Amino acid sequence: MSLKLYFAPGACSFVPHCLLQLSGAAYEPQMVKLHKGEQNGDEYKAINPRGQVPVLVDDGQVVTQILAIILYLDQKFPEAQFLPTDALARAKAIETLAWMNNTVHPTFTHVFMPQKYSDQPEVQAALKVFNTQTYKSLLSELDHMVQCNLQHAEWLTGARIGPVDIYALTLTRWGSIAGIDPTTYPALWSHVQKVAAHAEVAVVIERERLQLNLFKSA
């Protein structure tokens, strides 16, 4: 099997995992157990020295970084139309993906793993509180984006489900882990449930054994 995806359940690797499932191509999903530190082992570091997921291996060629993998899969499977073919629409979709990956994603990392940014407990606590509030505002922005985009199309970038829809699910789910109730973003939450109900996305959710909403009220 030429295509292999290294993923961690619930991580951003969920996005290319779903794209591969949507492509209909044969591929091998390989779980990396982050909680056991498998990403730091010599075997995995030989594939990706940064010790991160996702990693896509195609006929022995390694592609890392989620945005690069998305663009690679879009070109490898043009019939799937993961991204729009119109130049401007495609650029706007990539713009949104870059914002998700470069702004929203790191904000959650500051909430979920503040120890990456400071070894002082009081600083870690402050980072978590501050970035949780920032994450709420980013989810509000995403909620507004969903409201606007779905006025003109079935999915966020057009007639077919794509990486922007799937990344939106991932980011919303992460918010629930951070103690943010996803139902307070009605348009976003409704769309996330629609994405999760898609047959091929549901396969990946089952494989990764994910719960969509992990929010617990106080």
Strand-pair partners of 5: 29, 56
Domains 3-80 and 87-198 belong to one CATH topology: no
Nearest to 60 by CA among 71, 74, 46, 50: 46
DSSP states of 15-74? HHHHHHHHHT---EEEE--GGGTGGGSHHHHHH-TT--S-EEEETTEEEESHHHHHHHHH
In the chain, where are the structural domains located? 3-80, 87-198
> What class is the 87-198 domain?
mainly alpha
Question: How confident is the model at residue 27, as a pLDDT?
Answer: 98
**Per-run averaged pLDDT (10 residues), the chain, 218 residues:** 92 98 98 92 94 96 98 98 97 98 98 95 96 98 97 96 98 97 98 98 98 90
CATH number of 3-80: 3.40.30.10
Tokens coding 145: 């984006």
Question: How confident is the model at residue 1, as a pLDDT?
Answer: 55
Question: How confident is the model at residue 217, as a pLDDT?
Answer: 81
**Is this prediction's pTM over 0.75?**
yes
CB-CB contact of 170 with 14 (8 Å): yes
